[in-house]
Structure 1
């Protein structure tokens, strides 16, 4: 089978499409025939070597955190059936030679769930990590409630577009911070207000009950825009953001939190419920064939778009 692999740490050109043995599922595992996978920040960080202390120095490494496709085979003790349409993720930061951006992938059965009925795999793949990250942030970390005022920084990205929609469905008043040219698209997704991040300073907006940051810069300035009892979280981890998170601990409940997405089957079912009810829809910027996954990584790193880059593997 064909699989995208990281052959060395570096730029997107370090990615290769290699011929590898098709894996077989063991007890408690499923083999998924992958139809699509999306590009996520963790994929590009691993490829660039930003987590080499965890991923090591042996190559090749698999790439592709999420996937959507069809169950092709099962191991013992699994309820899923061959032919089931599913979506899911590999285990984050585990060392793989084959991951989601491949024709087949083996994962634990508790890492997949039924894909929303009628949703093509290219669209489904765009929601897996982005949607579960946004849901984890808003519902489980920040405990967003109806009527609260929410700011989403980096609102045009994958997590941002999902967060705008989910917050709107939860009954929040949503302010989006992004490029001005994305304002119309974000209002269509449910944003009540949209501000251009290039011309809007923190002191000109707010205050907010909840802030979800996907950018990782100026965290202290935005934290000051929280109301009494407000909450803030960031998904953007860097040396500067980690320092800001640590320094904010003196502010108690108004500190800056962080989180990671490690969705299980229950989370994937919850996410599918939002899709089925109309509260969440995919936002796909561009689709690339597996053979051109390097271009998908390049587009992700350039930014400036609305939504996700998706890699079409087969049949999607």
Structure 2
């Protein structure tokens, strides 16, 4: 086998999980300020499902094949000039917005500012569930300024970002309420929520008032916004893909009308964010939650499972490099 090539998950057309396949592509070469990471594992994220299905085709275009995979854990295999990492360093990271997808592969090149040292004692497969938690840190620390004693509502509390938000909200001293499926309420409580509520058994209006609302779903934003106390803050990391124009229009208009503004953002973490994550892990405030581990050849099955809903934490794909 040509050692200048590698396995990677690809797709040649938009569609369901079955469009994914494992093919061979050239192994990347790190440039100045970049590291080449031999990937141990990556997780499956909602944004990849939207991209693969074609919901973002206006942004992504029709040039194929396309790649999947956003975050990763692994080991530095090589590096370009002027980097602080050395071959053999255990690392984790997230590809930046300009890099797109591509960590679902045996190797990936990443700018060194997108990579951080993997915390000691973390298994790299379990750790692959955590880089997305930088989004929860940004939401609670930077976007909403969550303070001790405040009431925090996390919608999607058992998901990848949601489970981290529950853990961090508790660590930050908030009174945490988690919304999730009935089957996942035990997990939400175990992660530190003071209250765990079945989202299908209660109307938003019956939940009470909150100082901070973190939404990971993107629907019912008006109802959730109505739960804010005076001075409350709300952030969402999703919007309604079935009504994107209406949904994004509501988010934009919230700055002008009614109680509280709904802030929308997508994560774009750098090394400083990963270092914060590592500190939370070291302090015992954050732990990975892995629902199931798939082999690289079954990446399509991992996408299918995430689309089915009900995930408890993250679906992780283990990469077996040759």
Q: Report the TM range for the smaller structure's normalisation.
A: over 0.9
Offset of residue 94 of structure 1: 3.7
Paired residues of 2:299 and 2:317 also in contact (CA < 8 A): yes
Aligned to 2:16: 11
Aligned to 1:254: 260
- Structure number with higher helix proportion: 1
Structure 2 CA distance for aligned equivalents of residues 262 and 246 of structure 1: 20
**Alignment partner for residue 127 of structure 1, among 123, 126, 130?**
130
Aligned to 1:61: 66
Q: How does 1:46-125 map to 2 (within 5 A)?
A: 46-92=51-97, 94-95=99-100, 99-125=102-128
Offset of residue 41 of structure 1: 1.1
Aligned to 2:234: 232
TM-score (norm 2): 0.94
Offset of residue 181 of structure 1: 2.0
Q: Which runs of 5+ in 1 are unaligned?
A: none
SS of 1:72's partner is strand
Paired residues of 1:231 and 1:253 also in contact (CA < 8 A): no
Displaced runs of 4+ in structure 1, greater than 4 A?
none
Give deviations 1:251-271, integer Å, cap 9, x for gaps: 478111111100000000001
Offset of residue 305 of structure 1: 2.4
Q: How does 1:72-221 map to 2 (within 5 A)?
A: 72-92=77-97, 94-95=99-100, 99-129=102-132, 131-221=133-223
Aligned to 1:296: 302
SS of 1:8's partner is coil
Structure 2 CA distance for aligned equivalents of residues 275 and 253 of structure 1: 35
Greater Cα offset, 14-23 or 227-236: 14-23
The size of the alignment, in residue pairs, is 312
Give deviations 1:148-171, integer Å, cap 9, x for gaps: 000001111111100000100101
Structure 2 CA distance for aligned equivalents of residues 216 and 20 of structure 1: 35
RMSD of Structure 2 on Structure 1 (CA)? 1.4
Offset of residue 95 of structure 1: 4.9
Structure 2 CA distance for aligned equivalents of residues 118 and 253 of structure 1: 45
Paired residues of 1:134 and 1:159 also in contact (CA < 8 A): yes
Q: Which runs of 5+ in 2 are unaligned?
A: 1-5
SS of 2:232's partner is strand
Offset of residue 93 of structure 1: 5.4
Offset of residue 277 of structure 1: 0.7
